[in-house]
Amino acid sequence: MPLVPMKQLLEEATKGNYAVGAYNVNNMEQMQAIIWAAKETQSPLIIQASRGALKYSSLVYLKHLMLAAVEENPEIPVAMHLDHGNSLESAKTAIGLGFTSVMIDGSLEEDGKTASDYEYNVKVTKSVVEYAHANGVTVEGELGTLGGIEDGVGSGQIHVTDPAQVQDFVEKTGVDALAVAIGTSHGAYKFKEEPKLAFDVLAEIGKRLPGFPLVMHGSSSVPEELVAIVNKYGGNMPNAKGVPMKAIQQAIPLGVRKVNVDTDSRLAMTGAIRKVFVETPEKFDPRDYLKPAREAVKQLLVGKMKDFGTAGHAGDYKPKSLEDYKKLYAG
Ligand SMILES: [Zn+2]
């Protein structure tokens, strides 16, 4: 089974000093674009669903789309991950669907908006870890809060992770990976100018947690050329700005092993669809615009997989199962 716990992907990425992209999926065309990019570049892959995506697709549709991608590509190690779980209940739902990894974002309260306190974060994260690890499932926690709001998630305030807390948090909760806030932001309107990420904070966290996988959220680059296509064909996205690829590449050797990308795929898809609508207004078959949209997302992600260093690593190791990790956690 090439469906693997995310922990294995991150451990292998640590050994190879690269990052694995975690790409959000909501529908079939996105799913195909993601897995076909991974196949073309021979990259291990994290496919992730937000709570909003699960709601949009009424859970089982998304589950089976993800499983279809896995079935079609047995040579690609794939982790199915819940993005921004907000409670033990949401983690249980994802694990029940067969996800091999869950995020519990205890930096926010259950409403996904209000910044929580440290004690709450430790408590809710620990409860998810206990349940998930008993099933062999990986857990990602979060310390500090990102800027921006996406899919209704986020306090809208950046609180950079306090490096003094990271060891205590990891020890008390038992998480496998940690999302850190170093100045990145969710959504397309991240920054007014080129952002300054807190690399000093990231380096300090890496020093306190050597070899521990860190996660960067809100890390779409919002490429100018994609925004230009959207705007050229009737869109209205002024001054959208993201995290430059070179900043992400600077973060990877400091311990970042998972990089979340959602906004860029949305932009690529929207631009391609708008182009068809404007250039060929007589067309009305959804395949006429969804096919180029799928191709645009695929091309975008082929580039990311190369830039993150993931390309070529799919065959490096023998995939492990949830059962294997269940035993590891129990021992
Ligand atoms: Zn996020």
| 230 within domain boundaries | no
Q: In the structure encoding, which two tokens stand for residue 66, read together?
A: 């993800």
Q: How does pLDDT run across 94-128, given as a tens digit for each residue?
A: 999 999 999 999 999 999 889 999 999 999 999 99
Q: Of these residues, 83, 105, 151, 264, which one is catalytic? A: 83
pLDDT at 1: 55
**E strand or H helix at 16, and its extent?**
helix 6-16
The CA 50 to ligand 1 mean position distance, Å, reads: 9
If you average pLDDT over residues 273-300, what whole number do you get? Answer: 98
Let me know if residue 228 belongs to a domain.
no
Ion ligand 1: residues, Cβ under 5 Å: 217
Distance CA 139, CA 177 (A): 7
158 Cα: distance to centroid of ligand 1 (angstroms): 12
* Spatial contact of 308 and 19, defined as CB atoms under 8 Å apart: yes
Eight-state DSSP code of residue 175: -
The domain that contains 44 carries what CATH number? 3.20.20.70
Q: Do residues 138 and 100 touch, judged by C-beta distance below 8 A?
A: yes
Q: What is the pTM of this model?
A: 0.97
pLDDT of residue 191: 80
Instruction: Please tell me the distance between residue 105's alpha carbon and the centre of ligand 1 in angstroms.
Output: 9
| Contact of 183 with 157, CB cutoff 8 Å | no
Per-residue pLDDT at 132: 98
Q: Is 83 a catalytic residue?
A: yes
Is residue 1 in some structural domain?
A: no
The encoded tokens of residue 140 equal 């990602």
The answer as to whether 49 is a domain residue is yes
| pLDDT over 60 at 154, yes or no | yes
- Residue with structure tokens 């400091």? 254
Residue 269, in any domain of the structure: no
In this model, does residue 148 exceed pLDDT 90? no
- Split into its structural domains, the chain has a count of 1
Whole-number pLDDT of residue 240: 86
- Is position 110 within any domain? yes
Does the pLDDT at position 263 exceed 90? yes
Cα 22 to ligand 1 centre (Å): 10
As a whole number, mean pLDDT of residues 229-238 equals 96
Per-chain mean pLDDT for the chain: 95
Q: Does 233 reside within a domain?
A: no
> Helix, strand, or coil here: 325?
helix
Q: Any idea which of 120-134, 146-160, 269-283 has the lowest mean pLDDT?
A: 146-160
Gap from CA of 309 to ligand 1 centroid (Å): 21
Nearest to 302 by CA among 18, 10, 36: 36
Environment class of 192 (CB within 10 Å of its CB; exposed 0-12, middle 13-18, buried 19+): exposed
Phi/psi of residue 277, each to 5°? -60, -40
CA of 269 to the centre of ligand 1 (A): 20
Q: Residue 71 belongs to what domain range?
A: 6-186+195-220+242-262+288-330
Q: Kindly state whether residue 282 falls inside one of the protein's structural domains.
A: no
Residue 313 is encoded by which pair of tokens? 């690593």
The rounded percent of the chain whose pLDDT value lies above 70 is 100
The end-to-end CA distance of the chain, in Å, is 23
